[in-house]
Amino acid sequence: MRRRTVGVLALQGDVLEHLAALERLGVDARPVRRPTELVGLAGIILPGGESTTIDKLSRAFDVREPLVAALRGGLPAFGSCAGLIMLADRLIDAHSDQQTFGGLDVTVRRNAFGSQVASFEADVDVAGISGGPVHGVFIRAPWVEQAGSGVEVLSVVRPDDGHPRIVAVRQQHLFGVSFHPEVTRDLRVHEYFLGMLG
């Protein structure tokens, strides 16, 4: 089979953990900071971290515009936590000058689970991932407040207030989760993304 290279946006956040997960799955993985590093990728992971910082650094490294163009052109992308925020078309509780890369027709609320439960772990069922629930590690996590009609909702959690909250979505070549699969040993979420690659 043809070797595929998957990039990991390496501006800030859980870059090494995603590179390690890809390597464990036998995929060539490459950190991406510069526009030239986008060339030839089969897909890209946008790691969790701090979305305001990722936004600023993407502009400082001049990688923002080519990355946005690549996403618009169909480059498969998987965003985790802050990475999901970066894929969202609309944000709630963003900084005033905060921009996203966009592409996912969703409204994402930052730090949505509130300060009381800023970080927690929960087993979550994800549509399309078999073999039982995925252990979700949520760290100052966002949720998807509203999803457009073309967006598949893959997973919800029910926090203490009882309202189901969307924590995984897919729209064609774009996939995002609120949690951090790269900090667990479970590779199924990364495998799901690899299954999206051409």
Residues at the interface with ligand GLN (CB under 6 A): 48-51, 81-82, 85, 110-111, 139-140
**Nearest to ligand GLN of 36, 146 (CB atom):** 146
Structure token pair of residue 109: 């609320």
- The catalytically annotated residue of 17, 37, 182, 190 is 182
Kindly state the smallest distance separating residue 130's Cβ from ligand GLN, in Å: 26
Q: Which residue in the block uniquely carries the two structure tokens 């998987």?
A: 78
Distance, CA of 66 to CA of 10 (rounded, Å): 15
Kindly state the smallest distance separating residue 52's Cβ from ligand GLN, in Å: 6
In the chain, which ranges are continuous DSSP H helix?
15-24, 51-60, 64-72, 82-87, 188-194
Give just the sign of the alpha carbon dihedral 104, 196, 81, 66.
Answer: negative
Q: Establish whether 121 is a catalytic residue.
A: no
Task: Name the DSSP class of 38.
Answer: G
**Nearest to ligand GLN of 114, 132 (CB atom):** 114
| Bridge partners, residue 32, by sequence | 9
**Nearest to ligand GLN of 42, 48 (CB atom):** 48
Any residues with CB less than 8 A from the CB of 65 and at least 6 apart, and which?
none
Q: Establish whether 65 is a catalytic residue.
A: no
**Nearest to ligand GLN of 21, 42 (CB atom):** 21
- The catalytically annotated residue of 17, 18, 37, 81 is 81
- The catalytically annotated residue of 17, 18, 37, 180 is 180
| Cβ atoms of residues 84 and 176 within 8 Å | yes
Q: Establish whether 81 is a catalytic residue.
A: yes
Residues annotated as catalytic are 81, 180, 182
